[in-house]
Structure 1
Amino acid sequence: MWAAVFAIYHHYFHGCAGVVAEHRQDLSFVVELPGLAPRAIGDLPSFLIADSTDPSDIFHSIFTTIRDLIESLDKERPRATVLVNTCQELEVGALAAMGAHDVLPVGPVLPSGDDEAGIFKQDGAEYMEWLDAQPASSVVYVSFGSLASMAREQLDDLLLGLEGSGRPYLCVIRKDVMAALGEAEAEVRGRLKNGVAVEWCDQVRVLWHAAVGCFSMNTQLDVRDWRVGVRAQVDGGGVLRAVEVRRCVEEVMGDSEAAAEVRQMAGKWKRMVAEATEKGGSSERNLMAFVDSARITV
């Protein structure tokens, strides 16, 4: 996980849960967590914002798993070393915000190049072949992850906005989401002219593909810290409208100075991450030091 996310988990379960619970209905309320930049409640992980005390809630198991993890780390004597999938150059501030834990950045973990290395079978021949046929840095990749739900109105506007952008796109719409909306896969695909919709994809392979030009990430890091993205604004009903989808795609993929800066910053961080994970880089040195210390302990 990112260091910033781990720091949020730590501080939530060490005195900040009450503030979040008190203001969970106001997603714009700014909360200050020790050592981290101020952020809106809406920028915190979803299962921390929701009332996850109900066992039937979709986020309950995740909430309890993270809570139990933090509690276990608190009991470790001597302190356990937590390996995080980031590099120190990316998250200097977040790494400094976790004095209560020994946190070691050893990533980001990059693809090995082995097509059989993934934990899922590689069954994405069609969408990978489609990506292979697209120009470099031209495709918009959209995925809402394995937990987020979506209203019919939101799906309609999302697809309308992506189509309206005029750019090729790969959109992941989970099978359970389509079923809940009463949509059939054929019906969804019948609306698409510029893009491809899939129920699942190998995200690492997709993000590593040269054709992908933009995708979604953690907004706070993406927009403010790394300056490689733009924040999409929802309307008063919480729906991301088509016109806003088109605006954001154009602001990242277009020919403006702002879009050029986003691509420049993305290239900068890509090079920095590659250097950190290469032999002699910061993450490689941290990992080797951890392995050496473990050998000594044993």
Structure 2
Amino acid sequence: HLSAVPESMERRPHIVAIPFPAQGHVGPLLKLSRQVAHHGIRVTFVNTESVHARMLKASGDDDRRWDGIEMVTIPDGMEEVKDPRDIEKVAEMRAKVMSCHFEELLRKMNSSRDERVACIVADATLGWAFEVAEKMGIKRALFWPAAVPGLVLSLSLPHLVEAGVIDDCGSAPSDTAIQFSPKLPAVKAVDFVWRCPGDQRMQEIVFRHAMGVTKPVRISNWLLCNSFYELDPIACGLIPELLPVGPLTSTDCLGNFWAEDRTCLNWLDLQPCKSVIYVAFGSLAAFGQNQFEELALGLELSGHPFLWVVRSGFTDVDKIKYPDGFLERVSDRAKIVSWVPQEKVLAHPSVSCFVTHCGWNSTMDGISNGVPFLCWPFFADQFYNRSYICDALRVGLDMKAGEAEIISRHKIQAQLEQLLSDVQIKENAERLRGMARRSVSEGGSSSANIQHFVEQLKRCSEAVHHCD
């Protein structure tokens, strides 16, 4: 519970932030919330009970890192879902249970003059949160946690379906390429954000979610995203009202669901400059045992030191099993851990490249630190991000993972060698690092956009209180 708030603080604008309950969504919105809080805005952050419990466990119950943000939890109804892998049922239950509790929370806050909510900031996928806020007359800011061209594509879907370019299930001929601007790379069918190879039902569900973004965008007062204008001026220009506020970073890896193994930082200190291959596939990707072993042997063949994140559930067998003798053979040049403080790792001078699943948070982390990518996407927006990294930004290489084939250790070794010897990719990555840093520095584009958003919140809050 908070202690009494000083009189001078009582009129701080109050916003309520609510993420989609997954690590890739919670982290960036929490980072944005903390930045907004540093500008004198009061922030309440709403997590599901299960997500909050995981975050507390991961941080060792250290809640100081919330840094002035008030954390509130609501139920998500998951205990009533028989099969947690049934994505459709999970989404339905969450929408039903969370929307009721979210509305109840907002009503309770609005019944107190000092807690009145000026605005909600919600993940773009939570359509019900925007409807609740609109019904209650509360301003709405939409947060898009992925690449800007992905939002351009989502907003174009009704037109594309109507024109017959994409069918009602999100499918299109394999040679389909959608060109939003002559200066933007075309979006190919293999890069659709909702693409789920081998799982048509899942693809249709994700496609409906992508289609569902249009209404929240239409009824939002602000559109915010985790990118920066200079990274993608053409795509940003297609959504003129968009406020890029990224790259969203923090020194203490906010919003982690796993405890960080910080011994990796001491290990990195002992490695030569730009020598270490960093390998991490985010919070959801999983390998079959054969592919896992080929990756291990490919890293061994590279001859370079490597830091490899192997979290629980990373392979499709109960216990992680390495190739025979592998751990002994690489013990003098490998560090294998279950989770890392990724931003600190990528900022470390000994890291040479990043083998990644191309999740957008990892993409922004790599870009912010000028680290070249070896791209190995698995699902959803990761396929588009791969094309974006390799073809548009030219800061990485594609592992060229086919949908059925196992990538051999020799292919992995060859792609690593090609990436590490590509001078142009390194130069491009360094140039983007400078752009990213400038955007969040004082007077930079993202910094100015956060300032603009905060000033509008303050005006909007004054209007709310003058209505009393």
Q: Which TM-score band (shorter chain)?
A: 0.7 to 0.9
Alignment of 1:141-180 (within 5 A): 141-178=278-315, 180=316
CA-to-aligned-CA distance 1:137-162 (integer Å, 9 cap, x gap) = 22111222222221122112111111
Deviation at 1:230?
1.1
Equivalent residue for 1:73?
Answer: 217
Question: What SS does the aligned partner of 1:214 have?
Answer: strand
Please give the alpha-carbon distance, in whole angstroms, between the structure 2 residues aligned to 1:190 and 1:88.
44
Q: Provide closer, same or farther for how the CA distance between residues 144 and 60 of structure 1 changes in structure 2, counting only shifts above 3 A.
A: farther
Greater strand percent: which structure?
2
Check whether the contact 1:41–1:49 (CA below 8 A) recurs between aligned residues: no
Please give the alpha-carbon distance, in whole angstroms, between the structure 2 residues aligned to 1:198 and 1:50.
29
Equivalent residue for 1:96?
Answer: 237
Deviation at 1:20?
7.4
Equivalent residue for 2:320?
Answer: 184
Please give the alpha-carbon distance, in whole angstroms, between the structure 1 residues aligned to 2:420 and 2:192.
27
Question: What SS does the aligned partner of 2:149 have?
Answer: helix
Please give the alpha-carbon distance, in whole angstroms, between the structure 1 residues aligned to 2:170 and 2:208.
16
Question: What SS does the aligned partner of 2:424 have?
Answer: helix
Deviation at 1:164?
0.9
Please give the alpha-carbon distance, in whole angstroms, between the structure 2 residues aligned to 1:132 and 1:296.
48
Equivalent residue for 1:263?
Answer: 426
Equivalent residue for 1:248?
Answer: 415
Q: Provide closer, same or farther for how the CA distance between residues 210 and 297 of structure 1 changes in structure 2, counting only shifts above 3 A.
A: same
Check whether the contact 2:259–2:339 (CA below 8 A) recurs between aligned residues: no
Deviation at 1:30?
3.8
1:31 aligns with 2:177: yes
Equivalent residue for 2:254?
Answer: 118
Paired residue type of 2:346: L
Gaps of at least 5 residues in structure 2 are 1-145, 359-384, 462-468
Report the count of equivalent residues.
Answer: 278
Q: Report the aligned-residue RMSD.
A: 3.0
| Equivalent position to 1:44, from 192, 215, 227 | 192
Check whether the contact 1:42–1:49 (CA below 8 A) recurs between aligned residues: no
State the structure with more CA Rg: 2
Deviation at 1:192?
5.8
Check whether the contact 1:20–1:49 (CA below 8 A) recurs between aligned residues: no
Tell me the percent identity: 23
Equivalent residue for 1:207?
Answer: 346
When structure 1 is superposed on structure 2, of 65-74 and 195-204 the one drifting more is 65-74
CA-to-aligned-CA distance 1:49-74 (integer Å, 9 cap, x gap) = 458785xx5x7886666554443223
1:129 aligns with 2:129: no
CA-to-aligned-CA distance 1:207-264 (integer Å, 9 cap, x gap) = 222222111333122111221111122357332222221122112213xxxx111111
1:272 aligns with 2:438: no
Please give the alpha-carbon distance, in whole angstroms, between the structure 2 residues aligned to 1:177 and 1:3.
29
Equivalent residue for 2:248?
Answer: 109
Q: Provide closer, same or farther for how the CA distance between residues 52 and 13 of structure 1 changes in structure 2, counting only shifts above 3 A.
A: farther
Please give the alpha-carbon distance, in whole angstroms, between the structure 2 residues aligned to 1:243 and 1:71.
48
Question: What SS does the aligned partner of 1:82 have?
Answer: strand
Check whether the contact 1:105–1:286 (CA below 8 A) recurs between aligned residues: yes
| Equivalent position to 1:21, from 170, 187, 190 | 170
Paired residue type of 2:233: V
TM-score, normalised by the number of residues in structure 1: 0.80
Please give the alpha-carbon distance, in whole angstroms, between the structure 1 residues aligned to 2:386 and 2:275.
21
When structure 1 is superposed on structure 2, of 129-138 and 192-201 the one drifting more is 192-201
Question: What SS does the aligned partner of 2:230 have?
Answer: coil
Equivalent residue for 1:11?
Answer: 156
Paired residue type of 1:159: A
Please give the alpha-carbon distance, in whole angstroms, between the structure 2 residues aligned to 1:213 and 1:96.
33
| Equivalent position to 1:140, from 277, 282, 286 | 277
Question: What SS does the aligned partner of 1:176 have?
Answer: coil
Equivalent residue for 2:458?
Answer: 295
Q: Provide closer, same or farther for how the CA distance between residues 145 and 228 of structure 1 changes in structure 2, counting only shifts above 3 A.
A: same
Check whether the contact 2:262–2:341 (CA below 8 A) recurs between aligned residues: no
CA-to-aligned-CA distance 1:17-67 (integer Å, 9 cap, x gap) = 52873348x4xx34315345213333333x44458785xx5x788666655
Please give the alpha-carbon distance, in whole angstroms, between the structure 2 residues aligned to 1:15 and 1:192.
53
Check whether the contact 1:11–1:33 (CA below 8 A) recurs between aligned residues: no
Question: What SS does the aligned partner of 2:298 have?
Answer: helix
Deviation at 1:165?
0.9
Equivalent residue for 1:86?
Answer: 227
Equivalent residue for 2:119?
Answer: none
TM-score, normalised by the number of residues in structure 2: 0.53
